[in-house]
Chain A
Amino acid sequence: MQGHVAAPVKVGVLAVQGAVSEHMDALRRAGEAIGVAVEPVAVRTPADLVGCAGLVLPGGESTTISRLLRSSGLQPIVLARANQDLALFGTCAGLILLATSAKHDVADKDIELLGLLDCEVDRNAFGRQKDSFESAVAVEGVGTVPAVFIRAPVVTTVSEPTQVLAKTERGIVAIQKGRILGTAFHPELTGDTRLHEAFLRLCADAARTAG
C-alpha cells in the first residue's frame, strides 16, 4: 500500500440466498486482520455491484442462486467484469457456478455455469447432509485451515490456466485462476479468516487495475 490512507475497498456478496451475512462478517474481520478497510456490500442488483472490487458467490442452493443471478440482470455484468477488474470468490454452491462443467448435467436443474474456472465439479460429491463434515485442509499459499463441508461438491478435473490450491483423498477442494478463487468448503463458517484475507488481496489488486 502507498503511504496514504486508502478509501475502503468495496467488496460485494451476492445476496440472493445462502450464507450472506457470514461472508460479510468474515470480510470485515479479514480486513481488520490485514489492516485493510473493507466495506462489504450486499449485492442484489447491477447497481449494487458498481464500485465493488470483488464479489463473493456464497454457499446456498446452486439452482436458486443461479436463477436469481440471471433474473436480476447480474450475470452478464459479472461475466464482463471477471478477469478485468472484478475479483471473485465462490464457496460451495458459488464454486459450482464458477465452473466450466459439471459431472452430472445441471441444465435440467436450471443451473447456468459461468465457466470462469476451468474445471469440472461433482455436486453433492460426499453424499447427503448426514455425510457432511468438518476437517482441516492444507491450502497452498494460505496454510492449513479449518474447513466445513456441507453437501459439498468436489472438483474432479482442472485444466490450465486454473491451478489447484488444495487436494484431498476425495478430490480437489480449492482452486484459483488469477483473481478468481473457489473452495468446495465454507471458510465463512469458521473463525479463521485467512482465505478471506487472500481474497481481499486479490480485490485490492483488481481495484488497482480499475484505477
Chain B
Amino acid sequence: MAAPGMSRSFDLETLRWGTQLVKRGFAKMQKGGVVMDVTTADQAVIAEEAGAVAVMALERVPADIRAQGGVSRMSDPSMIAKIIDAVSIPVMAKCRIGHTAEAKVLEALGVDMIDESEVLTPADPYFHVLKKDFTVPFVCGSTKLGEAVRRIAEGAAMIRTKGEAGTGDVSEAIRHRRMMSRAVQMVKTMDDAALDTLTDSFVARYDQLNQAVLEDMGLEEADLDAAYAGLPYEELLGGIRDVLGEVRKLGRLPVVDFTAGGIATPADAAHMMQMGSDGVFVGSGIFKSGDPKKRAKAIVEATTHFDDAKLIGEISKELGEPMVGRSADELDVRLADRGH
C-alpha cells in the first residue's frame, strides 16, 4: 500500500509493481464488460471492434477442446504474440492449473492477465499456482465459495464461475453463482468463532498431499509447515481468514467476480448480470455461432444494458445460428470438476 504523504515525488524509489492494489485494480477496469475467447488475430480485431474489454487468446475454444479430447496445454506463444500485436485492449491467456512454468512464460510474453483454467488439462493434482509471486494478475474459476476464497488467498485478482465451458448451456454457471451468493449471505452473519471454523474447513483442502504421503508411509501426523508448496501453514490459514473477513465486511467477494461457462446469447449475459455478476466471459459462444460479429456486439450491449428487456429483445433479433449446444447433463467430461 502506498503511504500518503510519505513520498515526495514520483521516482523509481516509490514505484511498486504487481501489488495487490495494482492487480485487483486491473480487474476492476474490466467490470461491466465482456471478455471474448479468440483463436486468431482476425477474431481478436472483431472482438475489439464489437466492444470487448479484453480477449482471451487460445488455440482452441472450449467446444473444440471438448470435441477433440486429449491433453490441452498453454497455447503456442507465437499465436498469443500475434494477438497482442493486433489489438490495444488487454490480452489474457490460459495456463494449466498448477503449471507455474507455463504461467511464467505467459507473464514474460506480456499477457495482461493469466487465466489458471480448468478448460486446459490440470497439471498439478495438489496445488494451484501461488499467484502472489507474480507481477501479472490472475483470474481463476470457482464453483463455490471455498474454491474462490482459496484462489484469492493464493493471490487471484479476479474470480469467474467455471460454469460448463464449451456447452452453450448456462445452467452450471447459474448453479455456481447461486452457490456463491448463498454462501456469501451466510458468511455475512457469522461471528468470529464461526469464521474461524469455516477457515479450518476451507484450509483442509491443502492437506491432501500430506494425507497421501502419510497413508503411503503408514504414519499419522503430517508436517503441516510444508502445507502449500513451501508456504507455512500459519500463513495459509491467516490468508484464508483475511479473505473471509473481507467477504463478511463487504458482503461479496473482495475481487471482481465474472461469470463464465456456457454463455451463448445476449439474454444469457443479461441474466448473469441481473444475478449480480460483475461482467461475463464468452468462450465458444461467439466464434462458434453463425454471425460472430453481430452476436459479439449484441452480447456487449446486453451486458451493459442488462436491465433493459426491450433493448435486449431488439438486439437478439436475427442473430443467426447460435453455437450448437450440448446439455451439461449429457457430458462425459465435466471441466468444472477440475481444480479444487
Contacts and interface: CB of A to CB of B under 8 A. Distances in A.
Contacts of B33: 17-18, 60-61, 64
Contacts of B9: 136, 138, 168
B28 A19 contact: yes
A186 B51 contact: no
Contacts of A148: 21-22, 25
Nearest to B303: A17
The interface residues of chain A, by DSSP majority, are classed as: mixed
A169 B11 contact: yes
B261 interface: no
Interface string B182-197: 0000000000000000
B90 interface: yes
B48 A128 contact: no
A134 B21 contact: yes
B110 interface: yes
A99 B136 CA distance: 29
B26 A132 contact: yes
Contacts of B22: 132-134, 148, 150
B238 to A, nearest CB: 22
Interface residues of B, number: 49
A71 B89 CA distance: 20
Interface in B1-56: 1-11, 14-19, 21-22, 25-26, 28-33, 48-49, 51-54
Contacts of B18: 130
A177 interface: no
B222 to A, nearest CB: 36
Contacts of A19: 25, 28-29, 31
Interface in A97-136: 109-110, 123-124, 127-136
Nearest to B112: A129
Interface size class of A (residues with CB under 8 A): 35 or more
Interface in A135-155: 135-138, 143-148, 150-151
B258 to A, nearest CB: 13
Given A17-B31, A137-B10, A60 B53 contact: yes
A68 B50 CA distance: 11
A134 B19 contact: yes
B160 to A, nearest CB: 17
Interface of A: 15-22, 44, 59-61, 63-64, 67-68, 71, 92-93, 109-110, 123-124, 127-138, 143-148, 150-151, 166, 168-170, 173, 186, 189-190, 192
11 contacts: A16-B304, A18-B33, A19-B28, A20-B32, A60-B33, A110-B49, A134-B21, A138-B10, A144-B8, A151-B112, A190-B4
Interface of B: 1-11, 14-19, 21-22, 25-26, 28-33, 48-49, 51-54, 84, 88-90, 107, 110-113, 135-137, 300-301, 304-305
* In the complex, the 3 A-B pairs of residues with the closest C-beta atoms, listed nearest first: A146-B2, A136-B7, A129-B112
